[in-house]
Structure 1
């Protein structure tokens, strides 16, 4: 089974604290590294957790608040100093031009590599990236400015061919790929062997979704149904629900309600307000609704 691993680099909100870094994550799919958000200090976190920074494939920015992008200029400069030559795609809202272009013009010319800014649609669900292993979708969240969540979805794998069937029917090696893709097998005497006899169902595709920042938004449930792991912001406890509503953030309980309604397998909550030095109240609040909840922390590794 290929690697599908998430590393939490930062799970705090607004300002860095001694407990938490601002938002950033790495998604490793088959040894390709995809970064989600790039808060202040992200490149230091990359080194702290011994990440192969040169293997960074693409960057996905959920929205243009500082705690999600202030680490980006420094990271881009470091990649150039390290001699990167391959293009870097940054998926972000079109206003990213206003943030990055002055920096690139003043500090970055000439960079050793090309940066491609690919605009996100803040209003619609869309496929934004695809390769042989995965698809990445973006979908709208509910925040003060245009904000998107991301779904990383493994492509469906081939069916499993039964080894004993290969031997029993003397299936040529050249036909195994077709059978694993769903084809029946025709024996030398003209008998058709149905694919269901020869194979078993493939392992279900693994799926991971990232939802930060967002107010409580049942509209996203259809995009994240039955996924393996959901990362959902839980900036506040229910005692601060008015503040959550005013700032378009979620409480831990609301994050759990979304996970429960979407029938996900596991919920990881993060984007914690700096007012919380101790997070057990947030965890208790969420697990009361959705028991399969964990607190995010810097250096947390999630294997799907």
Structure 2
């Protein structure tokens, strides 16, 4: 038993070490290798979560220091969403991405619990307060997480990204703070997801417009796809509740395809699938959703880019926490 345990720990550590060797810069910046090596708060938050999971405090501190020093917006307490090393001003776009803010705050809270560090929790509490102040609104009778503080509330409608509904993080924030807003966000986000079932597949889109009467429509400016954003919706649902019936629409869609011949995305309105299949992190999310957990691991394929590798490790993390 001890030999098997040590072997599992070694494999887990190897997966994390591989991830760091590919995507972590010496200064604590995670690079998006499929997107000109830019960095996002999303990537910083993902890596911070993984560092806590793998008990790597030194890396966690490096990630957090770079994020806090380079991306923190002192005007609102949130984080500038993108860092472009090729630009004269790498943080020229001052808008935030609410999922990145949430991920960073969640990682800090988990770090505070794991390493008994009150300073991490104080930082997380401050970010959570800023998220509520700048990213959360009441609209069409619901409490809504906007994708960012600027540009998504069009008055007559709001633009939403359902993959920013980070249910397990909301749950953790509610447990810590006892603020009703987090529980309301969970309930209202699930209600909105139920209304975001488009086409014959009944799947959500990457980007959705919610009108003032609460009705949903494809957001203009983005392809009407269940794709690289929305793939995270079933991941976060399963992470919140592995037995959730809200996974059924995704299971019903994917069961029509053999595992290794599942299209990477689908145009939900035309019912046209991608011309290539899932692999890496996308396939890991499918496996978790379908209950095909024997495939789930953190051994990263040699060709994994940043996003695929992140999804794979996060899926493995979600699965381990559900066992």
Q: TM-score range by the shorter chain?
A: 0.3 to 0.5
Q: Report which of the two structures shows the higher radius of gyration computed on alpha carbons.
A: 1
TM-score when scaled to structure 1? Answer: 0.34
Q: Relative to total residues, which structure has the larger strand share, 1 or 2?
A: 1
Structure with the bigger percentage of helix = 2
Structure with more contact order per residue of length (Cα contacts < 8 Å, sep ≥ 6) = 1
TM-score norm. by structure 2 comes to 0.32
